Amino acid sequence: MIVEENNSDSVVLKIQNLTKIVGGTHQVALSDVTLEVRSGRVLGLVGDNQISRATLFRLILGLQSPDSGSLKIFHQDYSEDMNNVTSRIGFVPENIELTKNINSIEYLRLVSQLSGVRKQVAVAQIAKFSEILHFGDHLGTSIRKLKRSEARCLALIGALVHDPELLLLEEPAKDFNLGMRKVVRRLIRDLSDEGKAIIIASDDLPFLEQVTGDLAIFADGHIAFQGSVMSIKGAKDIPTVSVSFAGSVDRLESELRVHVNRGILSYRFVVDTCHIYFDPEMFLSERLRLLLDIIENSEVTLLDLRPSTVDLEDAVDGVVNNFRETRVSKLLGLRQPESHKSLDYSQIDGN
Amino acid sequence: MQNLIRPYFTVGLSEMREISVKPVLLTILLAQIILSVFFVAIGAIDDWMTSEPITWFVILALIPLSGIRLVILFSLSFRSRDRFMTDLILVRGISRLEYFVGKIVGIYVYFLAESLILLGAVAYFSKEFSAPEANDIELTGLLRAYIIVLAILGFGGSILSCLSASGLGTIKIPSIFFLMLCIAFPLMELAGSISVVPEAIFQSYGDIVRGVANLSLPLILLSLVSLVATVGAYRFFLRRDF
């Protein structure tokens, strides 16, 4: 489960067994997705494929209809006419393409009118968020002349002007410098503290790690993992070593590949260093013996060996790879070895 | 009541604002204005043009250029990738019905007002140069000319909106529309309902304006087809994934 509370009143979004096939190629964007988001929580959506995340947002916004499964927003079932629901949602897409022939304040006035916000309320909201996002100087600027980061600020103000209860953000830190990333981070935290539910779809894992409490990882349209960031990073103490070596990367990789799900959860190469994640159920002596066997068989020279911590990127990669392998094994009817069952990341419980 | 009307009104207004600031559409409007001045000026020196300035202006300038603007406008209108629509309007609590009706009405009102101003201007300035038999610059003639302009634009717009809402690509919409015209006109000619020879078009339009030909039957037919096409467009739009 993503959150600990059992109070069903705070559930803002509840998705059950949602499936959606998109495009002429009939690609499975979402397959049997079950997800729950509560007010005051920030959920990060990551994964190998942007289509899944984008499709999920479009389904929530009523721009697409699901093929099967149920979608409840603010306790209301999905229907063709979702205008009363979408008026309580704020959305900032990844690609900001605003109408270019008006200026910033005209744009904000237009979105306020479309959202049915009273003039005084709109003015107060615009003033508040312009100040937070340091956008006050650009309110009179033509949208055509705005830089990409400024256009993103404008879109963000536009998404907040009607005080939404659920906020959907695609790559919210994209185009921003370090200072602005900090500002956006603080804004997201403040909004979450105010009780807004926020879903962030992003590949910017360092940013996500700083703002989200929970993660949902997509792999091939499925949710491969749901849980807290801490749980995915190693609440289960996944033993990790960084190996510096000299020799053929290909040989080392082929040797490591043989041992995936046979003592090794996953591995990742960064320049001439390889991060190896071991099965937590193995003893230290077994891990060392396995590592030395791999080094010997791949005929590389060991230069350095040190324990390391799991970084989020590696953990996400591990989840996705492990999910795929498990799925392929299931599809082919292969039985997983007994010792590997506990390695399934999706079974790691964040609580 | 205000809450019921507000979404349609806001969408319609935002649509009119979009039309009025799009550079391509503005350029074509400028061409229409220049042509209206041209038709007024040429009426003073040409006997033929002096007799029916509005008819000439409508057939040679207003309908073709407004038609091109409608084709451009609708080719871009209901695209799946129209970020303006999806990111700004449909995600803000505006229903598909409100969006569709607001948009169509916004476009139609814009073209209604623009055609009225242009026709009125041409009629007003032509008055001094026109021959006495130029009844298309009199109020009843002008009104008939205006009504037929609206019916033709409404007909073209509804067919185009239907093509656009069905999800066809930006290039396919004008191509299919012109293909439809190319098939429809010869068929109508074969059926004997209209003649597509330019001289005959001027003649029949002039007859309507002068009150010689009956306006009601073609008007009813055009309105019916427009209505069916608009309902079809809405049905397509309702089912679309964006």
Give the domains, in start order, of chain A with CATH numbers.
8-230 (3.40.50.300), 233-334 (3.30.70.980)
Give the three-state DSSP class for B129. coil
Please give the pLDDT value at position A192. Answer: 92
Interface test with A, best of B91, B168, B235 (most A CBs within 10 A): B91
Set of chain A residues whose Cβ sits within 8 Å of the Cβ of B86: 63
Cβ separation B87–A63 shorter than 8 A: no
Cα A197 from Cα A188, distance rounded (Å): 10
Out of A64, A80, A98, closest to residue B238 by CB: A80
Which of A55-69, A196-210, A296-310 is predicted with the least confidence, judged by mean pLDDT? A296-310
Average pLDDT of the segment spanning B130-154? 82
Residue of chain B whose Cα is closest to the Cα of A95 = B83
Residue of chain B whose Cα is closest to the Cα of A101 = B21
| Beta partners for residue A304, in sequence order | A244
Average pLDDT of the segment spanning A57-61? 90
Please give the pLDDT value at position B4. Answer: 72
Residue B80's pLDDT band (boundaries 50, 70, 90)? Answer: low
Please answer whether residues A160 and A132 qualify as being in contact, where contact means their C-beta atoms are separated by less than 8 angstroms.
no
Out of B11, B87, B95, closest to residue A93 by CB: B87
Average pLDDT of the segment spanning A298-323? 80
Please give the pLDDT value at position A152. Answer: 93
Instruction: Answer whether residue B50 shows pLDDT above 60.
Output: yes
Instruction: Answer whether residue B134 shows pLDDT above 80.
Output: no
Residue A45's pLDDT band (boundaries 50, 70, 90)? Answer: very high
Residue of chain B whose Cα is closest to the Cα of A111 = B88
Q: What is the pLDDT of residues A89-105, one digit of tens each?
A: 999 998 888 877 788 99
Please answer whether residues B29 and B111 qualify as being in contact, where contact means their C-beta atoms are separated by less than 8 angstroms.
no
Instruction: List Cα–Cα distances, A282 to A69, A265, A287, B131, B136, in angstroms.
Output: 40, 11, 6, 104, 95
pTM over 0.90: no
Average pLDDT of the segment spanning A279-306? 86
Residue A342's pLDDT band (boundaries 50, 70, 90)? Answer: very low
Please give the pLDDT value at position B2. Answer: 58
- Reported ipTM: the value is 0.74
Q: Which amino acid is at A165?
A: E
Q: Does B101 touch chain A (CB under 8 A)?
A: no
Please give the pLDDT value at position A349. Answer: 37
* Nearest Cα to Cα of residue A64 among A52, A46, A75, A76: A52
Instruction: Answer whether residue B169 shows pLDDT above 60.
Output: yes
Set of chain A residues whose Cβ sits within 8 Å of the Cβ of B169: none
Out of A63, A95, A101, closest to residue B90 by CB: A63
Among A232-246, B33-47, B58-72, B201-215, name the most confident range. B58-72
Which of A65-74, A327-336, B155-164, B197-206 is predicted with the least confidence, judged by mean pLDDT? A327-336
* Nearest Cα to Cα of residue B74 among B184, B159, B185: B159
Residue of chain B whose Cα is closest to the Cα of A163 = B92
The pair of structure tokens assigned to B122 is 């041409």
A/B interface, count of CB pairs below 8 Å: 79
Residue A115's pLDDT band (boundaries 50, 70, 90)? Answer: confident
Judge residue B3's burial from the number of C-beta atoms within 10 Å of its C-beta, 0-12 exposed, 13-18 middle, 19 or more buried.
exposed
Domain boundaries, chain B: 2-239
The pair of structure tokens assigned to A339 is 């010792």
Residue B83's pLDDT band (boundaries 50, 70, 90)? Answer: low
Q: What is the pLDDT of residues A213-272, one digit of tens each?
A: 888 998 888 888 888 877 776 544 667 888 888 888 888 888 888 888 788 877 878 777
- What Rg do the C-alpha atoms of chain B give, in angstroms? 19
Set of chain A residues whose Cβ sits within 8 Å of the Cβ of B90: 61-63, 86
Cβ separation A61–B91 shorter than 8 A: yes
CA distance B237 to chain A (A): 11
Instruction: Answer whether residue A3 shows pLDDT above 50.
Output: no
Out of A89, A101, A116, closest to residue B6 by CB: A116
Q: Which amino acid is at B199?
A: E
Which of A52-61, A74-83, A148-157 is predicted with the least confidence, judged by mean pLDDT? A74-83
Out of A63, A86, A93, closest to residue B93 by CB: A86
- DSSP conformation letters of A111-166: HHHHHT--HHHHHHHHHHHHHHTT-GGGTTSBGGG--HHHHHHHHHHHHHTT--SE
Cα–Cα–Cα angle for A119, A122, A125, nearest 5°? 155
Q: What is the pLDDT of residues A12-32, one digit of tens each?
A: 999 999 999 887 667 888 988
Instruction: Answer whether residue A158 shows pLDDT above 90.
Output: yes
